[in-house]
Amino acid sequence: MVGTELPAPLRQRIASAWRFRHHVECEARARFTRLALWLEQAGAPDALVELAHRSAEDERRHAEHCAALARDYGAPVSEDASVELAEIAPRSLTFSQRTLYELVAACCVAETVSVGVLMRLRPAAGSERMRAVLHELLQDEVVHSRLGWAYLAHVAPSESVTFLGRFLPDMLEATAAEASLPTSLSPQDDAPALLPHGVLPHAERRSLFASAMRDVVMPGLEQHGVPTGPAREWLERHGLG
């Protein structure tokens, strides 16, 4: 078991973080697998369909890394657990709109936040193994983020994308939950000692989430014609503006 020199509550917090990431990566694999099918049905360019398939395979590798790290820190992880993947897009939308919604939510929003987090964590890694894992995840998440932006750029010239604006708060809410921004904190959640073990302290998670939204996601969406007023209001209400 690694991290045995750490106080037990801190080691448990790290183990829990990597176990949660394993679950997120398993969901991401299932989501990209489904998105590859949807993109093909929507007549998207072959390159984007292939990129979605590649992303699903990337997430399989990521889940393996996360499971191994969770176990090393003392948290058992079952890699045989099934994933029940719900559609996050409202059923009231058309198929084309649901496809775009899920790509924007999963890639333009969630993966962009993940890139920012991993960029902060990689140089703080406390071991070569941790640095290698974080580097691999970072390289892949950059590509996954580009999938969403590329599909938005593909669709925007021929279809209205303004409908996304009213749903952005829902996407941010889901991404904030996935980024582990808890409403109640333990002393371990803000411990600087988390960083070498691939876990961001809470204050930094909030800061990176806000900067990713403000500096990357919102300008990118606006560039393609998506109104971001509701999302900016959501950020202000949550003290992240």
In this predicted structure, what is the pLDDT of residue 185? 56
In this predicted structure, what is the pLDDT of residue 177?
A: 79
Checking if the pLDDT of 89 tops 70, the result is yes
CB neighbourhood size of 180 (10 A):
18
Domain ranges across the chain: 8-237
CA distances from 219 to 28, 146, 214 (A): 25, 15, 7
Chain centroid offset of residue 29 CA: 12
Predicted confidence (pLDDT) per residue in 166-189, tens digit = 999 999 999 887 665 444 457 677
pLDDT at 2: 76
Check: pTM over 0.85? Answer yes or no: yes
- pLDDT score recorded for residue 181: 47
The architecture CATH gives domain 8-237: Up-down Bundle (1.20)
* Residue range 210-238, pLDDT digits in tens: 999 999 999 999 999 999 999 999 999 99
Nearest-10 crossing angle of helices 46-72, 8-41:
160
Average pLDDT over all residues of the chain: 92
Pull the structure tokens for residue 97: 């709109």
How far is the CA of 44 from the CAs of 58, 96, 104, 109, in angstroms? 21, 11, 15, 20
Mean pLDDT of 120-147: 97
Of 11-15, 123-127, 159-163, 178-182, the range with the lowest mean pLDDT is: 178-182
pLDDT at 143: 97
- CA angle, 21 as apex, 197 and 88 as ends, to 5°? 150
Confidence band, pLDDT 50/70/90 cuts, at residue 35: very high
Tell me, what's the pLDDT at 183? 47
Q: What is the pLDDT of residue 190?
A: 79
Note the pLDDT tens digit of each residue in 37-71.
999 999 999 999 999 999 999 999 999 999 999 99
> What pLDDT score was predicted for residue 78?
82
